[in-house]
Structure 1
Amino acid sequence: MKKELISATIVQPVHQPIRHKAAYDKENGRMYREKTGEKMEKKISVLGVWADRCTAKDAMRICVEYSHTDALNIVEILTADVLVQSRMTEGVKENIAEADLVLIGDKAILEAAGITDRQMLKETEGNVFLKMFLRFLKKDGQRLFLVGDSQEDLAEFQSFLETHHQGLRIVGSAVIPEHDKGDDMIVNQINGLEVDCILSGLSVAKQEAFIKRNRNLLNARLWMRIGKTPRTSGESSGFAGTVRNFLRKHILIKEMEKENRKKEN
């Protein structure tokens, strides 16, 4: 198989004068670096889905900045499952594009796209950003609210966080319905609890629908979708993790080949 078949596009860094350290400009995909005094434009596209290419430390700077803003900022951690879903389900790709920051959270995506950056591969495999972010939430005493597709998902989500990340300040949770009938109650609950960050295990489509209806009503500063199966406890290590990563990579490569055949035809 020739590497040319892989449909991944990388936009190389463009250096410009800094406007504000550790800030993010959604329109231009810019991340401002405090140390260099320059702002960097780094984007990668896989299967038509654009993600921000940055280190875990850079992503943390951006999220810390978000935590001090007045508006609600959306962060998406992109997995192989969601990428494949974006090919099969209409609107998923567009929904991901609405996020303020999109981070690659699956090593299989990088490998399938031919990314060889050692630091990026290592940090993604070790879920370094998510671990750093959860430590920040704990250390800063951030008030957290969990949302999920079902009560079972929520219970599993909360159990995972309490087992592997003890000390997080979880103040509430809610199941997000398909319709908007329960929106007022959920929004009032979040605002009444003075939530700082919403951790989401929702499907991409359901999350986007809820945010679209209520973004301007929520007083929280950060909404992070980490998916139904958070991976910060070392599940990517060992033989089972290697097999899972291989299968994800294989599926993605097949989807990329389909995408390229469409373009060629």
Structure 2
Amino acid sequence: MNKDNTLYDNIKNNSITVFEGIGLKMCAALKGFGFISDLNGTDLFPLFMKLTERTGHKFFLLGGSEKSLAGTIEHIHQNYPQVNITGSHNGYFDEKKEAEIVKFINKSSADVLLISMGFPLQEKFVFKYRDKLNVSLIWNLGGLFDFLSGLKPRAPAIIRRMRFEWLYRFVKEPIRMFHRNTVSAVWSVGKILLIKKQ
């Protein structure tokens, strides 16, 4: 995101951003705030779904592979049986199909759009089509569908409490997580240090 000013501005000005990730925690500590507890989508999701069981909102799920998507829908049906899923689509489509996906979402009459396509693909899709999406809420969830479907294990609770979930994921997926947990983290911390000196 450091090289994409448009994406940064969109996130800054047009969304509700939650405090999540070891990089932000490190930056907060360097700024003198200590290690603040984060609010990640994986932990917030069950609370949100329990609430929407009572409100009757309709959902559209976008993202993941077909297997991941099917597993996520099954997870929701088993754990939140009153939640109404009116449509879904995997996250593997090219730019030519985006307009068709938007029409498909709108046709479903969903109130809530859950997107699990990973950063920054999901953010770019939302900012490109938000004015054409007839939904009340759009929630970008990163790789949550893979966790809900059981395709990828989440770190045990004790590791999460020790704030080492990032390390657990790095060990499980070193190639995919390398840039995120090294290059991006170092860049972010370095920028915060420069801000402190100013």
Where does residue 107 of structure 2 map in the other structure?
Answer: 192
Residue 258 (1) aligns with residue 174 (2): no
Aligned residues: 174
Q: Which of 236, 241, 245 in structure 1 is aligned with 2:165?
A: 245
Residue 215 (1) aligns with residue 135 (2): no
Q: Which of 128, 134, 143 in structure 2 is aligned with 1:228?
A: 143
Q: Tell me, in whole angstroms, the C-alpha distance in 1 between the residues paired with 2:114 and 2:46.
A: 14
Cα RMSD for the two superposed structures: 3.9
Q: Tell me, in whole angstroms, the C-alpha distance in 2 between the residues paired with 1:108 and 1:212.
A: 24
* Deviation digits for residues 16-70 of structure 1 (CA, Å, limit 9, x no counterpart): xxxxxxxxxxxxxxxxxxxxxxxxxxxxxxxxxxxxxxxxxxxxxxxxxxxxxxx
Q: Tell me, in whole angstroms, the C-alpha distance in 2 between the residues paired with 1:161 and 1:129.
A: 14
Alignment of 1:8-157 (within 5 A): 86-87=1-2, 90=4, 92-97=7-12, 99-106=14-21, 109-110=24-25, 112-114=27-29, 115-116=33-34, 121=37, 124=39, 129-157=44-72
Label 1:259 to 1:227 Cα distance change in 2 as closer, same or farther (>3 A). Answer: same
Contact persistence 1:108–1:246 (CA under 8 A): no
User: What one-letter code is carried by the residue in structure 2 that aligns with 1:259?
Assistant: K
Contact persistence 1:147–1:200 (CA under 8 A): yes
Higher mean displacement: 135-144 or 233-242: 233-242
User: What one-letter code is carried by the residue in structure 1 that aligns with 2:117?
Assistant: L
Q: Tell me, in whole angstroms, the C-alpha distance in 2 between the residues paired with 1:102 and 1:228.
A: 17
Where does residue 94 of structure 2 map in the other structure?
Answer: 178
Residue 203 (1) aligns with residue 118 (2): yes
Contact persistence 1:148–1:201 (CA under 8 A): yes
Label 1:90 to 1:178 Cα distance change in 2 as closer, same or farther (>3 A). Answer: farther
Q: Tell me, in whole angstroms, the C-alpha distance in 2 between the residues paired with 1:192 and 1:162.
A: 21
Alignment of 1:155-174 (within 5 A): 155-174=70-89
Q: Tell me, in whole angstroms, the C-alpha distance in 1 between the residues paired with 2:34 and 2:87.
A: 40
Label 1:240 to 1:215 Cα distance change in 2 as closer, same or farther (>3 A). Answer: closer
Identity %: 18
Other structure's SS at 1:215 match = helix
TM score, norm. by length of structure 2: 0.64
Contact persistence 1:107–1:124 (CA under 8 A): no
Per-residue deviation, 1:221: 0.8
Contact persistence 1:142–1:197 (CA under 8 A): yes
Where does residue 178 of structure 2 map in the other structure?
Answer: none
Label 1:201 to 1:112 Cα distance change in 2 as closer, same or farther (>3 A). Answer: same
Point out the structure with the larger strand share: 1
Q: Tell me, in whole angstroms, the C-alpha distance in 1 between the residues paired with 2:23 and 2:120.
A: 22
Q: Tell me, in whole angstroms, the C-alpha distance in 2 between the residues paired with 1:200 and 1:164.
A: 19
Q: Tell me, in whole angstroms, the C-alpha distance in 1 between the residues paired with 2:76 and 2:82.
A: 9
Contact persistence 1:195–1:220 (CA under 8 A): yes
* Deviation digits for residues 135-166 of structure 1 (CA, Å, limit 9, x no counterpart): 22211111000011543442343344345544
Contact persistence 1:154–1:175 (CA under 8 A): yes
Q: Which runs of 5+ in 2 are unaligned?
A: 171-180
Other structure's SS at 1:200 match = strand
